[in-house]
Structure 1
Amino acid sequence: MPEKASSSTGRIAKSAGAVSGAVMCSRVLGLAREQVFAGMFGAGYAYDAFVVAFRIPNLLRDLFGEGALSAAFVTVFSDHDTNKGEEATWQLASNVLSFITVLLSLITLVGILLAEPIARLLAPDFAQVAGKTELTALMTQIMFPFLILVALAAVVMGILNTKGKFFIPAMASSFFNLGSIIGGVSLAWLLPQFGQPAIVGMAWGTLLGGLLQLLVQLPALRKTGFRFRPHLDLRDPGLRRILWLMLPATIGLSATQINVFVNTNFAASCMEGSVSWLNYAFRLVQLPIGVFGVAFSIAAMPVLARHAAQKDMAGLRQTFSSSLVMVFSLTIPAAVGLMLLAGPIIRLIFEHGAFTAEDTARTAEALICYSCGLFAYSAVKIMVPVFYALNDTKYPVISSFLAVAVNVLFITLTIDLFSFRAVALSTSCAMILNFLFLGTVLHRKLAGFALKQLAIGTFKIIAASAIMAGGIFGMRMLLQPLLAGAIPFQLGGVAVLIGSASLLYAAALHCLKLPEFDEITGKVRQRLGR
C-alpha cells in the first residue's frame, strides 16, 4: 500500500475508531430507548402509531440530516477551508445555517397543518382501528420540528468533522436518546393524568432529544473559532453549489419516500404489530450500520473530499478501496452473528412487560431478513460520499429509483407469501442492487480501483466469518440452558456467545493476514495502551 494512501487509511481508521465508540454508545442508548417502548407499549396499537408518526418527519431526515446535506456541505466546506481562507469559510457556514433554518421552518409548518392527511396516506389501514389515525396525526405534529433540530445538528457536525473533531458530534445522538428516554418516560407517566395517552409523552421526549443533540455540539463549535452571524445570501456561490449538489439527492429522496411509503403501507396492511416488529428489528440492525457504516462514512468523507479538492485521484481510489474492505471486515461477520443469534438477542433486550414471546419470534424473523443486506447498506454509506467528492450525484439518484422498482416488485410478488417479512427482505435486496450498481459506476468513474485487493480481502472475511459461524453453532448448543433461563443467565449466555465469536473471528482474520483489519486492531491497541 503506498505510504500516502496508508496514511489516509490509518487516519480514517483512527477517526472511525473515535466515531465508532461514540456511535456504539448512542446505539446502545437507542436500544435502551426501544426497550422502554417494548416494555411500556409492546407491539401494537400505540407503538404502531408512534412509528408511523415519527417516520413522517424522518422521511426528510436523510436529506437534511445524515445524508445529502451533510455530504454536500462537507464537500464545499472542505474546498473553502483548503482554498479560500477562514473568513469565507465561516461566512459560508453562517449562510447555510440561516438558509436551513428558514427553509425547514416553512416545511415544518406545512407538515404540522397537513399531519392528518399525510398519516392517512401513509397508513390508510389505521383508519380501521378507532382513534389510531388521529393519534398518529397528533404525534406527527409534535415531532415535526425535530426536522429543524436534526438538520442544524448535521451542519454543525459537518463543520466539526472538517476541523478534525469527530467524537463530540458522534456523541450528540447519545444525548438525543437520553432526552428521549428521560423526558419521554417522565411525560409518559405524567400526561395520562391530563387525559393524554402515555405514548404522546414519548413524542415530546423525541423533540427534547433533538434539541439536546444540537445543543451539546455548540461548545465544541465555539472552540473552532466559529461565531454565528445571521446572514442569508441566496446568491452565495458556496450555498448554490451545496444546493446544486443536493438537487439530485432531493430527486433521489422522492425514491426513498416511495420506498418508505410502500413499506409502511404494506406493513400496516399486515397483522397488527407488523409495523412494530419491523421497527424493532431495524433498530437492532442499525447498531452495526451506525458503528461501522456510518462511522467510516463520517471519518472518510473529509479525507475523500480533500483528495478530490487536491485532484489526487490515486489517493481517492486507494482510500475508497481500503475503507470498503474495512467496512466489509466488520459488517459481514456482524450480519452472520445477527442471523444466528437473532432470537436470543431479541429475547434478552425486548421480551419484558408488554413484549411477548410471539413478538420475539416475529421480530427475529424480520431481523434475519434485514441482516442479509447489512454489508451493502454500510458499503453504500462509503460509496455515496465519493460521488459527492467528484461533484457527480446523478448516479446515486438513478440507483435509488432502480431500488424502488425492485422494492415495489419484490413486495408485490411476495407479500402474500411472506407477510411483513417481505418488507425486510425486499429492503435487503434493494440495497444489494444499490451497492452493485454504484460499485460498477465507481469502477468506471475512478478509472478502476483495487478490485484484486477488494476480492482477496472479501474472500478472507467470508472465510473467517464461516469459521466464526461454526463456533457460534457449537457454543449455542452448549449454552442453550442459559439462553432459555432467567435474564441474568440469558445475559451471560449472549455475552459469552458474542465475545467468543468475536475472538474467534479476529483470530481467524489475523491468521489470514488482512491489512485493513490490522489497521483497525492496531488503532484499538494504541487507544487501550494509553
Structure 2
Amino acid sequence: MLKKAFFTNSSGILFSRIFGFIRDLLTANILGAGILSDIFFAAFKFPNLFRRIFGEGAFAQSFLPGLIGAKRKSSFIVSTFLIFACSIFLLSLFVWFFSGFFTKILAYGFSEEKIFLARPIVVINFWYLELVFITTFLSTLLQYKNIFWVNAYNTILLNIFMILSLLIAKSYEGMQIVYLLSYGVLCGGIAQILLHFYPLYQAKYLKIFLVGCKDIFLLITKKSKNHVKKFYQESIKSFFKQFFPAMIGSSTAQIAAFIDTILASFLVTGSISYLYYANRIFQLPLAIFAIAISTALFPTIARAIKNQEEEKAKNLLKQSFWFLMILLTLCTLGGILLKNEIIFLLYEHGNFLREHTLITANVFAIYLLGLIPFGLAKIFSLWLYAHKKQGKAALISTISLGVGLICSVISMQFLEVYGLALASSISGFILFILTIKHFGIKNFFWIIASKKYFLLLITLLILEFLILQAFLTFIHI
C-alpha cells in the first residue's frame, strides 16, 4: 500500500510539475523577468504559499490524527470545513477592501506606481485561497480512505488553465496579460474542486456529509445530547490546537520563499522573478520525492503510533530515509553541475535573456544546498506530528525561519539575490538539526547505520559525477 501510494503521489506531482514548467516557460517567454512578472509573482505568492502549505502536508498532518481519533467523524468533518471556509471567505473580503495595504505587505519595496498596478491582481489571486482550502480538504478526506491519486493529480488542472490563459494572452499586451493569467488561476481552482466530486461519491462521503450537517444543526439549535456536544467540542478543540503549529512546522521552505519575495522587492527589478524561477525547479525534487513519500507515509505512521507500534514506525522511517537520502543527494549534485544547462533549456526564450539565465542558474545552485536537509526534515517531522507534538515542530520551524531571516537581511547587503537563496539553505540545515534533536539522536543513529546503503550512495555519486563531467565536456552553457 505504501509503495503504491508513493508512486501515485510522485507520478502525479511529476506530471503536475511538467505542466508547471510548460507554464513557467510560457510565462518567461511572454512576461520575461521585469515589472509584469514581478507584479504577477508577488500577487500569486500568498495564495501559492497557502496552496503549498495546505496541499503539501500541513492540513493533513493535523486533520488526519484528529479524524482518526474523533468519535463523531461526520460532525468533525463538516464543522471543520465550515469553520475554515467561512474564515477564509471573510479574510478574502477583507483583502478586497484593503487591497492597497496587503499589496504593500506582499511587495513592500515596490514603488507607488507598481503598487497601484498590482492591487487588483492581488485581489483576484487571493480568491484562489478559498479554492485551495476546499481542494485540500476534499483531498485529505480521500487520503483517509487511502485514495491518493486525486490529491496527486489535481494540481495539473491549475497548470493547464494557466497555460491556456497564457496562450490566449499572447495576442494582448502589458497588464492585460497579467489579468488573463490571474483569471486562469481562478478557473484552475474551480476545476480542481470539481475533480473530487465523483471519488467522494464513490467513497460514500455524501452520507457522511448529510449526517454531519444534521449533527451541526442539532448543536446549533441546542437539541443534541450533552455527550455528543462534549465529543464535538473536544475533537474540534484538539484539532485547532494542533493545526496552527502544524501549519508553521511543515512549511519552512515555503514561508522562507515568501519572505524572500518581500525582501527581493528591495533589490533590482527582476530579483523576484529570479527567485521564483529558481525556486520552482528546486521544489521539483522536493515535491516528487520528499513530499510524495511523506504524504504516503503519514497515515501509516499515525496509525502505528496510535496503536503503540513504534518499532514498525521506525522501520518505515529508516527505509524512507535512505531512499530520500540517495535520491536527493543525486539531485543536488546533478543540479549544481548542470545549473546553467537546466535554466537555459527551460527558460531562455523570448524575453528571458542569457543574462537572466546565468543569474537564475546561480540562485538555483545555492537553493540546492538546502535540498537534502529540507527533504529529510519532512520525514522526521512526521514522528512529531504522529505523536501530536505539533507545538515542538512549530518551535523548530520558527527558530529556523528566524535564523534564515537574520541571514537574509545580512547577506542580501553583500550578495543581493544570491544572499537570499543562501539564507534559505542555511535555515534548512537549522530545521534538520533541530528536528533530529527532538526525534532523538539515538534513534537517528540507528536509522543511518547501514554500510550497504552508504556504499551504494558513494558509488552512485562517483558515477554521476563522471558521467556529467563527460557530458559537460561536449555540451555546456
TM over 0.5: yes
The alpha carbon displacement at 1:49 in A equals 0.8
Quote the Cα distance in structure 2 between the aligned partners of 1:209 and 1:315. 40
- Counterpart Cα distance in 2 of 1:254 and 1:216: 25
Give the one of 370, 381, 391 matched to 1:373.
370
- Identity across the alignment (%): 24
CA offsets 1:264-319 (integer angstroms, 9 cap, x no match): 23211222111101100011111111111111011101111110121111111111
Q: Hey, what does 2:344 align to over in structure 1?
A: 347
Q: CA deviation at 1:451?
A: 3.3
Structure 1 residues 28 and 18: CA distance shift in structure 2, 3 A: same
The 1:159–1:57 alpha-carbon spacing in structure 2 relative to 1, beyond 3 Å, is same
The residue matched to 1:126 in structure 2 has which SS? coil
SS at match of 1:20: helix
The one-letter code of the counterpart of 1:470 is L
Q: Does 1:108 align with 2:104?
A: no
Q: How far does residue 378 in structure 1 lie from its aligned partner after superposition?
A: 1.6
Q: Give the C-alpha shift of residue 257 in structure 1.
A: 8.9
Q: 1: CA distance between counterparts of 2:421 and 2:37?
A: 18
| Residue number among 286, 289, 297 corresponding to 1:292 in the alignment | 289
Q: For residues 339-360 of structure 1, what are the alpha-carbon distances to aligned partners after superposition, in whole Å with 9 as ceiling and x for unaligned?
A: 1111111111111111101111
Residue in 2 that maps onto 1:73? 63
The offset of 1:258, in angstroms, is: 7.3
Name the aligned partner's letter for residue 17 of structure 2: R
- What residue in structure 1 maps to residue 42 of structure 2? 52
Instruction: State the TM-score, normalized to the length of structure 2.
Output: 0.89
Deviations 1:14-52 (A, max 9, x none): 321121111100011111110110010000100111111
Superposed CA offset, 1:343-390 (max 9, x none): 111111111111101111111011000111111222222223321110
2:195 to 213, 216, 232: 216
Q: Please list, as runs of the form range in 1=range in 2, the aligned pairs for 1:263-342 lying within 5 A after superposition.
A: 263-342=260-339
Residue ranges of structure 2 left out of the alignment (5+ in a row):
220-228
Q: Deviating runs (4+, > 6 A) in structure 1?
A: 253-258
* Equivalent residue, structure 2, for 1:95: 79
Query: Once the 2 structures are TM-superposed, how far is the Cα of residue 175 of structure 1 from its aligned partner?
Result: 1.0
1:156 is the counterpart of 2:144: no
Deviates more, 1:132-141 or 1:364-373: 132-141
1:8 aligned partner: none
Shift of 1:256: 7.9
Within 5 Å, give how 1:496-511 maps onto structure 2: none
- In the other structure, the counterpart of 2:223 is none
* In 1, Cα distance between equivalents of 2:271 and 2:467: 32
Moved more, 432-441 or 161-170: 161-170
Give the match for residue 118 of structure 1. 102
For the 8 Å contact 2:166–2:177, the answer to whether it is kept is no
Partner of 2:28: 38
Equivalent position amino acid for 1:12 in 2: L
Change (3 A) 1:454 1:372: farther
TM-score, length of structure 1 as denominator length: 0.81
CA distance in 1, matches of 2:251, 2:346: 34
- In the TM superposition, 1:4-15 aligns within 5 A as 11-15=1-5
**Which residue does the alignment assign to 2:224?**
none
1:447-458 counterparts in 2 under 5 A? 450-453=446-449, 457-458=453-454
Residue identity matched to 2:9: V
Distance 2:80 2:129 in 1: 15
Q: Retained in 1: the 8 A contact 2:318–2:448?
A: no
8 A contact 2:408–2:419 mirrored in 1: yes
Over 3 Å counting, the alpha-carbon distance change for 1:399 and 1:62 in structure 2 is: farther
**Aligned equivalents of 1:113, 1:403: Cα separation in 2:** 34
Take 2:300 and 2:156, find their aligned partners in 1: how far apart are those partners?
25
The corresponding residue for 1:22 is 12
CA contact (8 A) 1:318 1:450 kept: no
Residue of structure 1 equivalent to 2:114 = 132
Query: What's the counterpart of residue 462 of structure 2?
Result: 466
Once the two structures are superposed, what CA deviation does each residue of 1:92-135 show, in whole Å capped at 9, x if it has no partner? 322222222112111211222222212213323211xx631122
Q: Which residue of 1 aligns with 2:186?
A: 207
Conserved 8 A contact 2:26-2:166:
no
Structure-1 separation of matches of 2:284 and 2:249: 25
Judge conservation of contact 1:63–1:249 (CA < 8 Å) in 2: no
Q: Cα deviation per residue 1:421-466 (whole Å; 9 max; x = unaligned)?
A: 111111111011101110121026x966623436763563244223
Larger CA deviation: 156-165 vs 141-150: 156-165
2:61–2:246 Cα contact (<8 Å) kept? no
Q: Aligned partners of 1:181 and 1:273: how far apart in 2? A: 22
8 A Cα contact 1:332 1:462, kept in partner: no
Q: Does the 8 A contact of 2:10 with 2:292 survive in 1?
A: yes
Query: What do residues 232-283 of structure 1 show as CA deviations (whole Å, max 9, x unaligned)?
Result: 5694433322211113235669988974564223211222111101100011
Letter in 2 for 1:464: L
Query: For residue 213 of structure 1, what is the amino acid of its counterpart?
Result: Q
Q: State the SS of the aligned residue for 2:205.
A: coil
What are the residue-to-residue correspondences of 1:139-218 with 2, within 5 Å? Answer: 139-186=121-168, 188-189=169-170, 197-218=176-197
Shift of 1:68: 2.4
Partner in structure 2 of residue 418 of structure 1: 415
Distance 1:465 1:253 in 2: 29
Code of the aligned partner of 1:204 = Y
Bigger relative contact order, structure 1 or 2 (CA pairs below 8 A, ≥6 apart): 2
- On the 8 A contact 1:189/1:198 being kept in 2, the answer is yes
User: Deviation of residue 474 (structure 1)?
Assistant: 1.3
8 Å CA contact retained: 1:403, 1:431 = yes
Q: 1:218 to 1:183 in 2, by over 3 A?
A: farther
The equivalent residue for 1:395 is 392
Query: Match for 1:226 among 198, 202, 205?
Result: 205
Distance 1:358 1:191, change over 3 A: closer
Query: Within the alignment, does 1:475 sit opposite 2:471 as a pair?
Result: yes
- The verdict on how the C-alpha distance between 1:252 and 1:381 changes in structure 2, with shifts beyond 3 A counting, is closer
Aligned partners of 1:185 and 1:201 also within 8 Å: no
Distance 1:261 1:373, change over 3 A: closer
In structure 1, what residue type is equivalent to 2:134? Answer: L
